[in-house]
């Protein structure tokens, strides 16, 4: 069985199987499961093409650094005004590291105080302006490459860094994966409507609390998936704080048709409070 067919069949099982069903060898990873949603035309159409938006920052800059595989990786960095070992990794949506994510990164930097913010580019400089390109790019992300980029940014932060992560949609799932990769340096994870990790053994390796901000009307990261995540985290003996909003997938993005300003404001306040409580 070839890999593409294997992953596709695994995704079907992932969406249809009850929580207790054991995943077989063909089951995709959490991030692969989310990427495969780009094959769903309704999912693609639920993301309108972003309008023109330009953000100019006086504080941030484009950076490059070695990925763990020895190749060059990229990101957007805003250095703390005062020296600190606090590092917040921001993981972009399926559009890529665009100016909207840079603006969100600067908003986080302003709100949190002493923290170095690095928006991580998992698309290797590709930025989608159409739904079709976004679907192509998200499906083109290889787990090994994304993990290599994240390991590279962790090395850039250094062995004494305290790692915090946040992401939306595609980036919500990778926020959790980055926290897992950070090991005992991890200090806090925020995931907006991202695909949770289902592997109990992996979840047992978490070293940080997780805040999950989900939407009760989300057809993809639906309440059943969220409930299973909560159950798995409890089994793993880890702390998960779940806040569910009467909203749909993408409620925090002003360009989304499902944008809900009240839910976004409450989710933002919750995320900032969660991160501030864990900053040193």
Look up the CATH number of the domain holding residue 157: 3.40.50.1820
Q: Within 10 A of 263 (CB to CB), how many other CB atoms are there?
A: 20
pLDDT at residue 26, rounded to an integer: 57
pLDDT at residue 116 above 50?
Answer: yes
Res 237: pLDDT = 98
DSSP-assigned letter for residue 259: -
Residues 6+ apart with CB under 8 A from 271: 166, 190, 192, 211, 213
Q: Which of 15-24, 32-41, 85-94, 113-122 has the lowest mean pLDDT?
A: 15-24
Task: Please answer whether residues 109 and 78 qualify as being in contact, where contact means their C-beta atoms are separated by less than 8 angstroms.
Answer: yes
CB 205 within 8 A of CB 183: yes
Q: How many domains does the chain have?
A: 1
Higher pLDDT, 200 or 8: 200
Find the domain containing 165 and state its range: 3-278
Over the chain, what is the mean pLDDT? 90
- Reported confidence tier of residue 140, pLDDT bands at 50, 70, 90: very high
């Amino acid at each position: 069985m070839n890999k593409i067919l294997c992953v596709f069949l695994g995704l079907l099982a992932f969406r249809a199987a009850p929580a207790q069903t054991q995943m077989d060898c063909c089951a995709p990873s959490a991030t692969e499961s989310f990427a495969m949603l780009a094959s769903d035309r309704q999912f693609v159409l639920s993301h309108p093409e972003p309008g023109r938006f330009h953000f100019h920052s006086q504080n941030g800059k484009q950076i490059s650094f070695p990925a763990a595989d020895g190749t060059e990786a990229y990101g957007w960095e805003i250095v703390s005004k005062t020296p600190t070992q606090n590092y917040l990794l921001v993981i972009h949506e399926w559009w890529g590291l665009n100016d909207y994510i840079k603006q969100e990164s600067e908003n986080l930097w302003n709100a949190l105080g002493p923290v170095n913010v690095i928006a991580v580019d998992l698309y290797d400089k590709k930025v989608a302006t159409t739904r079709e390109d976004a679907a192509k790019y998200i499906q083109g992300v290889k787990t090994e490459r994304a993990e290599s980029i994240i390991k590279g940014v962790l090395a850039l932060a250094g062995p004494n860094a305290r790692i915090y992560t946040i992401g939306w949609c595609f980036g919500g799932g990778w926020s959790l994966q980055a926290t897992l990769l950070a090991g005992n340096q991890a200090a806090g994870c925020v995931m907006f409507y991202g695909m949770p990790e289902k592997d109990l053994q992996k979840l047992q390796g978490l070293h940080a609390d997780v805040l999950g901000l989900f939407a009760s009307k989300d057809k993809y990261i639906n309440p059943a998936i969220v409930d299973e995540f909560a159950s798995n985290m409890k089994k793993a003996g880890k702390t998960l704080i779940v806040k569910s909003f009467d909203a749909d997938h993408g409620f925090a993005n002003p360009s989304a048709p499902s944008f809900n300003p009240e839910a976004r404001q409450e989710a933002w306040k919750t995320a900032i409070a969660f991160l501030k409580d864990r900053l040193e």
